[in-house]
């Protein structure tokens, strides 16, 4: 991908430091991720002098409760980010492309939840537990990865550090939230209609969602058959893990779950690895919680991943289809809106504070 | 596994042929699969002189509508199958172990939907499209495979015949129906309660099911971490495909879907294979329907697999994690109660007719 960042975007080392109490903006404040961004800032006591909520004209006039006060939602325009030190963007790729670069040029540091800049070589793609050091290379824009890539990277990175990963085969069980608040509402409404014997015409997603699942709704490459979500997961995992040649096969599927993603992972390592060794590494890894009770049949579930920030990891076992003893299978789950999006972005912002 | 069939079980070649209009019994008639067994017999015009419906004492006194008549459900006992030529068992392993062998000894041919006899070397494990010839080896009991094994075998077998399969990695998206009618009802009730903001305590399955998923409820081997469903899929696929050494890694997951199973398959072959070649083989395979419209993002879904007998196959693409060009990824879906259970059993019974 060509490096088309204008030369006047300053690298992190030459920029003004972020003040102790920065001015912060949330762009896309009323969306599914925006709501969680605000909640994460509040709950984690993110130090700030001022919080600006921005959204498209559709949300003009709304207010949102933040720390006990009703904050107005303002319409995003070219001057909205003047004087803002850190802007958390989650308003889609088009808004990020339209506003982020100019704001970065004028001094705002952008943490962008869209896919607009993720594969730009001048933009670090960061999961703080994994590659925080990459933050030092930013030029005003830092990308928050795809939700599946984050949730997979948190357990894969510490394993990779101990024994290089050669191949990953993943099948995802992705929640409605990845398609936004409207998709979550569609899942509820379609299911309610189904239970009452009524028909429901899908409006947000292309297929019936009540008690149904379908291949991820991202567009499919007509030549290769890979869909856009799978491309993101493959490319972004390679960038986050700094393994540009990593072999990754992914199948992305949308399941009728509201807001946490689950992933079945089969991972081949460079050298033989035991399940006990993998479990020890994961148990000590930041952002991971082992949920692996074989006797109680209690493993990672979206219900328990929801509303908390860890990636749950379990079903740890040898992949018996690889007789070389170099492969491990596991099931992981994380809250798509939190660690898969808002929480990770706020964790990035926390590391920008001086 | 020891061959503990009593010597007086007659091999198929020495048995009386099944008459043109046999007497047929359905054992477990009131269960989720039993209801579908009766419907399949009706809809396919299975030739029979007499249909006996049998169940546990819990169902005593019930009647079921069959071909416009109300048939009584009788309580299964030692003499229930006297004079019955073909008995379709779907009342759980305990009932099969208790009644099937003695009935077979007395001349009834058992098509058993339970796991009781599947791995017995004297019991053929049959998917008619795949290994119908194995029927000739029966000794009065024929096993209907596990639902995931059937739904995977239908597309894998024709590919294997063209280019031997070396390794399969599968992640399942299994419906409630595999755990019975009560689990389907629990999914509905738990979801309805969730939508109304009420709590629902799981009664049938161990975990909350509304908008949630969980590792399959079969018991987990404490040493290996493999669960009982995964063991069945691995062992049964090897037996059905007559590949005792086939390398298979499976992750079985229960998703909030009512009655069709979906499976993400990554399949490695002995020799390089193109997606077009695989698609051509599958398009000509019995029991397979290709659903692979990349432009419309239309692929196999449980909603469309439900209520029909084919295995839907799509998302056909190269597994790009295998640079040797020997691996294909695909998504398949089949009705767990039909091809995964009742329909396959009735198709077996049809092949017993002379």
Question: What 3-state DSSP class applies to B135?
Answer: helix
Residue-level pLDDT at A17: 86
Given a contact cutoff of 8 angstroms between Cβ atoms, the answer to whether A118 and A143 are in contact is yes
CB contact set of B70 (below 8 Å; sequence gap of 6+): B63, B64
pTM: 0.96
Domains and CATH numbers, chain A: 12-144 (3.40.50.720), 149-336 (3.30.360.10)
**First-to-last C-alpha distance (Å) of chain B:** 32
Cα-based torsion angle of the residue sequence B213, B219, B222, B226 in order, rounded to the nearest 10 degrees: -60
Question: pLDDT (tens digit, 9 = 90+) per residue, A18-54?
Answer: 999 999 999 999 999 999 999 999 999 999 999 999 9
Residue-level pLDDT at B11: 82
Going across the sheet that includes A165-173, the strands are: A247-251, A165-173, A260-269, A327-335, A311-318, A288-290
Is A147 noted as a catalytic residue in this protein?
A: yes
**Lowest mean pLDDT segment, chosen from A214-218, A338-342, B7-11:** B7-11
**Strands (DSSP E) along B90-213, which ranges?**
109-112, 141-143, 165-173
Given a contact cutoff of 8 angstroms between Cβ atoms, the answer to whether A202 and A285 are in contact is no
Is A139 noted as a catalytic residue in this protein?
A: no
Tell me if chain A has a CB within 8 Å of the CB of B1: no
Which of B188, B214, B316 has the CB atom closest to A195's CB atom? B188
Structure tokens at A115: 């896919």
- Go through A177-189 and write b for each residue having 16 or more CB atoms within 10 A of its CB, e for each that does not: bbbebebbebbbb
- The band of B8, judged by pLDDT with boundaries at 50, 70 and 90, is low
Cα distance between residue A317 and residue A278, in whole Å? 9
Given a contact cutoff of 8 angstroms between Cβ atoms, the answer to whether A155 and A311 are in contact is yes
DSSP code of residue B291: -
Tell me if chain B has a CB within 8 Å of the CB of A188: yes
Strand partners, B253: B215
Tell me if chain A has a CB within 8 Å of the CB of B307: no
Find tokens 């409006």 and name the residue: A203
How much is the average pLDDT of B104-122?
Answer: 97
Contacts of A314 in chain B (CB under 8 A): 215
Residue-level pLDDT at B1: 43
Contact state of B225 with A318 under an 8 Å Cβ cutoff: yes
Shortest distance between the Cα of B320 and any Cα of chain A, in A, equals: 6
Alpha helices in A25-175 (DSSP H): 32-43, 93-105, 128-131, 147-162
Contact state of A195 with B217 under an 8 Å Cβ cutoff: no
Active-site option among A138, A147, A160, A216: A147
Prediction ipTM score: 0.95
Given a contact cutoff of 8 angstroms between Cβ atoms, the answer to whether B253 and B172 are in contact is yes
φ and ψ of A241, to 5 deg: -85, 0
- The band of B13, judged by pLDDT with boundaries at 50, 70 and 90, is confident
Cα distance between residue A270 and residue A272, in whole Å? 7
Contact state of B192 with A195 under an 8 Å Cβ cutoff: yes
Given a contact cutoff of 8 angstroms between Cβ atoms, the answer to whether A346 and A162 are in contact is no
Residue B273, Cα to own-chain centre: how many angstroms? 28
Question: What 3-state DSSP class applies to A171?
Answer: strand
Given a contact cutoff of 8 angstroms between Cβ atoms, the answer to whether B234 and B250 are in contact is yes
């Amino acid at each position: 991908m060509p490096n088309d960042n204008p030369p006047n975007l300053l690298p992190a080392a030459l920029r003004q430091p972020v003040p102790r109490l920065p001015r912060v903006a949330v762009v896309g404040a009323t969306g599914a991720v925006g709501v969680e961004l605000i909640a994460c800032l509040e709950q984690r006591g993110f130090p700030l002098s001022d919080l600006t909520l921005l959204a498209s004209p559709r949300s003009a006039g709304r207010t949102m409760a933040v720390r006990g006060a009703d904050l107005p939602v303002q319409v995003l325009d070219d001057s909205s980010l003047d004087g803002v030190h850190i802007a958390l963007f989650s308003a889609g790729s088009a808004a990020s492309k339209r506003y982020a670069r100019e704001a970065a040029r004028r001094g705002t540091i952008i943490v962008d939840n869209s896919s607009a800049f993720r594969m730009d070589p001048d933009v670090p793609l960061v999961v703080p537990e994994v590659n925080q050091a990459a933050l030092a290379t930013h030029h005003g824009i830092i990308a928050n990865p795809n939700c599946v890539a984050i949730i997979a990277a948190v357990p894969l990175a510490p394993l990779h550090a101990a024994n290089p990963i050669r191949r990953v085969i993943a099948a995802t069980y992705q929640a409605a939230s990845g398609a936004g608040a409207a998709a979550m509402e569609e899942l509820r409404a379609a299911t309610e209609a189904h239970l009452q014997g009524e028909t429901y015409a899908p409006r947000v997603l292309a297929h019936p969602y009540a008690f149904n699942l379908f291949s991820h709704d991202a567009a499919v490459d007509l030549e290769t058959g890979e869909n856009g979500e799978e491309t993101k997961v493959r490319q972004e995992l390679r960038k986050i893990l700094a393994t540009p040649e990593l072999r990754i096969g992914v199948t992305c599927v949308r399941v009728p779950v509201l807001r946490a993603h689950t992933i079945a992972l089969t991972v081949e390592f460079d050298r033989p690895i035991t399940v006990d060794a993998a479990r020890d590494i994961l148990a000590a890894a930041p952002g991971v919680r082992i949920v692996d009770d074989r006797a109680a049949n209690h493993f990672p579930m979206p219900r328990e991943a929801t509303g908390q920030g860890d990636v749950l990891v379990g079903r740890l076992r040898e992949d018996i289809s690889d007789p070389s003893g170099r492969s491990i299978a596991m099931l992981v789950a994380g809250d798509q809106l939190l660690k898969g999006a808002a929480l990770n972005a706020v964790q990035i912002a926390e590391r920008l504070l001086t």
